[in-house]
Structure 1
Amino acid sequence: MFIRDMVRFREGDFVESVEGLIFDVKGLIHPKDRVIAYVRYVPDPLGDRVRENLRYRKIYELSERFRFLSENYPQYLLHDPFIGEVVEAVPRWMIKSFYKPEFKLAEMVKKCRELNSIEDLALKLALTLRDEANISLDKVGISGSILIGLHNQSSDLDIIVYGYRNCLKVYEALKTLRQLNVLESCAKIIDKLYRFRSRETPIPFNVFRNIEGAKLLQGLFHGREYFIRLVRDYNEVDEKYGDRKYRNLGRIILKATVINDSESVFTPCRYLIDDVEIVEGAHYPVKEVASFRGRFCEQARIGDRIIVEGKLEEIKFKGEKYYRVILGGEGDYIIPIK
């Protein structure tokens, strides 16, 4: 048995296929023989990312990622019997290499004198969060392009924090660091963020500016854009692949009131809702809005009235059935309206 067959993968990890495709792992729950992960970097002689004299290009939109695999590498698409849809998933036996954020951070600490300017800044941010939150270094990791050695001068800083309590401590630390001006909001780069995100997530600019400017999980550190993901640890997820069964009920637009936002800072994020008004789509008793995409974290607060568009799902879990809106696809959004 290979090491890749025994490794537990989670949000923030990356895997590299035998063809050199690099995928970012989504969530903590995976089939036994595959890892649910979305293609992110692909070999391309015209690409602007370079590693070991090989060029790569980064694929941004989810629809483009899916199309690339469909046309070139359909073996990385799986019809998931529990989700009832086709998902991107890498067979374990086709994984050539894997990359873990916590290992990367430990390596960077040991080689701190050999780091380039961007790596050094990522290390400083990780250590700042560790110190301010007073958590163990092995519960922090460095993900994104730095993790896989494909960063360039425009790359941002992607930090991962593991464990429920550690995550809450870091979130409190972010408040302090923002007050001390160690971290800045993303106000200076809001135009750039809007141009990028509005391609998939349609939100009026003034609303986008207000929401994004208040977020703590993203901003600027020494002028460099950062994004922090808060992820539960392995032992905090009491669920295995196949425990939940999903049924796609089509698109839905609804208005609702957020009654619990305690998981809005985590990846995946979740908002519990009540007083639901269906604007368009099938009428079901929807209880939550969720997403695996970081852009939907910190999007609304308890008490907010929101309007949401996304995919309506029926979920069966432990003998119960409930309904949620899942956000992540093109055109999905969640916007506070008062």
Structure 2
Amino acid sequence: MRRVRIRDFLETEDMIFSVVTYKHPSNHYNALLRFVRDPRGERTRDNINYRKLSFQEAVNYINTWRPEYGDGEPHKVPDANLKRIVRPKKALSRLNKEGHAEITTITKKLLAEGANSEDLGITGSHLVGLDQPSSDIDFVAYGLKGFKAARLALRKGIKNGGIRSVEEETWGRIYRKRSPELDFDEFIEHEKRKFNRGMIGKRYFDLLFTRSWSEIKDIPSRGKKREKMVVEAKVTDDSFCFDSPAIYEVEHPEIDRVASYTHTYAGQVFKGEELQAKGWVEESEKETLLVVGTSRKAKGEWIRSLDLIKNR
């Protein structure tokens, strides 16, 4: 087994997956199917057509055509079937050398404002050369220090010019895609203070976090579902609140940590603030978690900052 982490992509003979966990069993990788070879596919690479799949399309495809890759989420990519691992850092270097206009512009602006080149990468469709003119750009920053510098650089880029704030129309698209339990105004209030999204011209991009290799430890352990609960608690550590899952250590008599498995609630509450979250209590030998995002759309589950709401 080779070493992989979230935001890496895996290629087999006819499928492309994104890695979705840091830890993996001894014989396969945990991933999600993103693209399949299809003669009628709308995306082309090396004269081969591919089709991009939604989450449900990916689940249906695996269940129907490739059941050996698992019967649920995450999909299981056998090490024996792996042809190539595509790494975000190498891809960003290649795209900048090739002169991809918008990616190069964003990279230069982030570096000028203090981001570190060795901590940046690119993921999503651009990573595997299956992007379209309308594709969003997904940047990655590695490690707590690297992500902090990149996020601050994005914020400074918006303030100093060169990077635009996300426009209202794009916020609407993001809200519809995420379909959160929060109303639009509350969702936007939380999002605008995260400083992990921006625009270059009309092109939207975001900034995602991935742990450095040395930080891959103390990953939340999923346990036995106990009950649904609403928790209000002070956040004592937000170090990995932009991770996947997003982790909030809290001061609470029953819950050790709140873990969000949906990106909607990453970076939602900061250290020292009062968090309100609804999700499933899961108990393992190691800890008691409140898990948000137990389903893909996380219906009936949320995380919000009570401090942000009080200070409206």
Between structures 1 and 2, the one with greater strand share = 1
Specify the alignment match of 2:279 in structure 1.
Answer: 310
Stretch of structure 1 that moved more, 138-147 or 176-185 = 176-185
Matched, 1:255 2:221: no
Letter of the aligned partner of 1:9 in structure 2? Answer: V
Distance change >3 Å, CA 315–CA 185, structure 1 → 2: farther
Superposition RMSD on alpha carbons, in Å? 2.6
Letter of the aligned partner of 1:271 in structure 2? Answer: Y
Distance in 2, Cα, partners of 1:87 & 1:316: 23
What displacement does 1:86 show? 6.0
Specify the alignment match of 1:99 in structure 2.
Answer: 86
Q: Which runs of 5+ in 1 are unaligned?
A: 79-84, 113-118, 277-284
Letter of the aligned partner of 1:206 in structure 2? Answer: D
Letter of the aligned partner of 2:175 in structure 1? Answer: Y
SS at match of 1:165: helix
What displacement does 1:328 show? 5.6
Distance change >3 Å, CA 187–CA 251, structure 1 → 2: farther
TM-score, normalising length: structure 1: 0.79
Matched, 1:294 2:263: yes
Specify the alignment match of 2:247 in structure 1.
Answer: 270
Distance in 2, Cα, partners of 1:297 & 1:244: 15
Q: Which runs of 5+ in 2 are unaligned?
A: none
SS at match of 2:176: helix
Q: Which of these residues, 31, 36, 40, is aligned with residue 37 of structure 1? A: 31
Tell me the number of residue pairs that the alignment of Structure 1 and Structure 2 aligns.
Answer: 302
Distance in 1, Cα, partners of 2:228 & 2:161: 41
Letter of the aligned partner of 1:207 in structure 2? Answer: E
What displacement does 1:143 show? 1.0
Distance change >3 Å, CA 173–CA 267, structure 1 → 2: farther
SS at match of 2:285: strand
Contact 1:76 1:90 in 2 (8 A): yes
Matches within 5 A, 1:1-338: 5=1, 7-18=2-13, 20-61=14-55, 63-77=56-70, 87-112=74-99, 119-135=100-116, 137-188=117-168, 189-198=170-179, 201-238=180-217, 246-249=222-225, 252-260=228-236, 261-275=238-252, 285-317=254-286, 321-327=287-293, 329=295, 330=297, 331=299, 332-337=301-306, 338=309
Distance in 2, Cα, partners of 1:294 & 1:268: 8
Stretch of structure 1 that moved more, 245-254 or 208-217 = 245-254
Stretch of structure 1 that moved more, 33-42 or 69-78 = 69-78
Moved over 6 A (4+): none
Contact 1:23 1:40 in 2 (8 A): yes
Contact 1:14 1:22 in 2 (8 A): yes
Query: What's the % identity of the aligned pairs?
Result: 25
Contact 1:43 1:56 in 2 (8 A): yes
Contact 1:247 1:315 in 2 (8 A): yes
